[in-house]
Chain A
Amino acid sequence: MGAITMLNTIHKGELPVAEVKLSNEELAAMTGLSPNTSRTALLSMVAAREALDDAAIPDFKLLRTGFVSANTVGGMDKSEDFFVDFLPDNNKGKLRNVFDHECGSKTEIVADKLGITDYLTTISTACSSSANAIFYGARLIKNDLLDVVIAGGTDALTKFTLNGFNTLMILDKQLCKPFDEHREGLNLGEGAGYLVLVSEKVAQTLTKPVYCKLSGYNNSNDAYHQTASSPDGTGSYLAMKGALEKSGLKPSDIDYINLHGTGTPNNDSAEGTAVKRLFDSHYPPMSSTKSYTGHTLGASGGIEAVFSVLAIKHGIIYPNLRFETQMSELPFQPETKFLKGQNINHVMSNSFGFGGNCTSLIFSRA
């Protein structure tokens, strides 16, 4: 995280972000895609390919395969260029910069490269998008529609989102401080994160062990305001509670919570209140890894699912960076030390977004 070096915006030097420090040309070279491809798809391609290679599924081509990806603004990075020429004259602007603007096109570009044959779709529920993609993918397997699903999400930094969040006055001009009494907002980030989900039957054919299982999930709506969270965190509470019920676990079974923790006064207050309502007296270690990655919007649920899965595999808990002062309204504070050698069986990952869309996932040791 730091000063903007790649995005072309007047906010350079003023708003810190977390950029993937690879140019589109470099990402194109890594993926075999054209450098004219939207950065949203380029980032997606790198992560989805790495996830699929890591899964090393025998006979992938013989299975019913799907790709469920999420993003929030599709090919906006390219459309921003297109509109500069298009606005003064609607017959101008290079069509190659806009023909695949829609969110679904990003999914399609990557799915075709991965050799997905049976089903691809795209989810967009703002900042909870990729958490919803992961559990929709899991349910496609559970309902016996598919055998393998690569699920998660991607988003590139764009002028559109940077300016959008800036107009809402929720961007911190310093590096963000999630769950700190003196937090002042979020920093945007970019990236992509995917999990490869397999049916039990496919799991038995794998040559390397699975990381864990998706044991619980829930999607609830806050139904309070288009952009703000309710003061008591109704949606977050229902999502976490629903995911626990689905998994058959008690709050005290959760060993780590990867918080949504954007660093805005509103989110952390609502999420913290919901955590208090549900976990009171049994607070597990928790942290917001957005203090490393920034808020990657449609990618955040996917990226944080990867963090959660790795927490189980390696027995680690990530410290919440830059935390200094406990929030006065909360009886707990996030974990500030890097913990290793932990016995972590169950991790909860929270993703909440505009439109009241709240989703919690629970990953459990297999």
Chain B
Amino acid sequence: MNGIDVAGPQIAVLGAAGVILLVDALVPQQRRLLPFIALIGLAVSALWTISWVARDDYQTAFGGTLSLDHFSVFFYFLFAGITAMVVLASIDWVNREGRGQGEYYALVLTACSGLMFLSAGRDLITIFIALELSSIPQYVLAGWGKDVRSSEAGLKYLLLGAIASSLLLYGMALLYGVTGTTMLAEIGETIAWSGDANRSVLVVAMTLLIAGFGFKMAVVPFQMWVPDVYQGAPTPVAAYLSVGSKAAAFAVVTRIFFEALGARFLSDDWSNVFAVLAAVTMTVGNVMAIVQTDIKRMLGYSSIAQAGNFLVGLAAISVAGGEFTLGASGVLFFLAAYAFTNLGVFVAVIAISQKIGSDQIRDYAGMWKRSPFLSLGLAFCLVSLTGIPPTAGFWAKLYIFNAGIRADLTWLVVVGVLNSLVSAYYYWGVIRQLFTGASEDSTAIRTSPSIGLSLGVAAAGVFVFGILPMPLISAARDAAAIFAQH
């Protein structure tokens, strides 16, 4: 069964989810083992992916619906890593909640497999059902707290997500109707062959796809759920949403738009749309983030602003020839750097907020004296989000703005740089509170090993890729190179 081998990374994750459900249901006294089962599953998944890299035998399986290529392998590693960090960061919180341990880890892993399928799907049906597989656990997880805030977050996410799915499905139906196939490669061929006779339908389908995925990418004007959901959902879940589902949405948008809608007369249109969306998204996200007093809301708006930076990479497609995929590789590189950075921020916020019982930025005052480790980690990751060396965030911004300039999008890069300055204001506001603010309570905050490990890994990643970005850049280039054939 070759297909099972190709889908191995996902099956390992799903298998771990199944084992977790079984252990939780049949031997509930062993519940403290559950996060370790999850981590083992993710490790097996990563090893399976490594074995494919070692075999160097990239292929499609299941009738061409699932593609194992550099692009999906890049995201398999990214999602396994993100999920492992989220699981590590959740252990304390889940134990303290004392309920639904099995369901929590099982749903996190199921969502992870959905994200993996999403990045590897080469067929609209597979992509859609993978999107649902990643979304439905996330709806449940957002409403996990069951208090008013969390239920509101879950319900809002579910309703808006359902609308986004329906728009997406409408766009996919139009694409299928006009090309007669759901396979991305065949859609691309049909469009290239038929020319711009069906341009109007394709533009409408494209708009619907951008709207549907825009919700998951959290770009303006589909961002209104973000602050409420991030604030209401449990913090580990908010971390997962801000990194995992955003990365998967960008992965699938890159794949669909480059592979199926890459024809020149279409890419000119959508690169303009993405350029405008990028400028608006960055500006709205940053301006709204300035006035926030709740750190989770602020991170929500900051993640919107970062999505605007990713969009610069998608807008930069108009470069022809050898640098056709420069923008796409910029998106991938930025996604990986952002994953480390934003997870680091969220892990520190989880650790601090749990102890001080507040998400208000002013309550973070004087944290340096209470927990130097958490403060340093948080500050370092915030510096990376601003885009200052020596961090991975710096190289990511430099790389993607470079792609923008090569694509004659100088105005967009200027907007991006100005926005980085604005973002520095609120990121540094938090850092200032951490180090200079005075706090009435000066009891030290003890960090649990799991939180320490995940924050350490995140900060180390940000630092190492800030000093030596080349391995990550070349991986991103290899991954994006699969789109360069046409």
Bound together? no
Interface of A with B (CB < 8 Å)?
none
Interface of B with A (CB < 8 Å)?
none
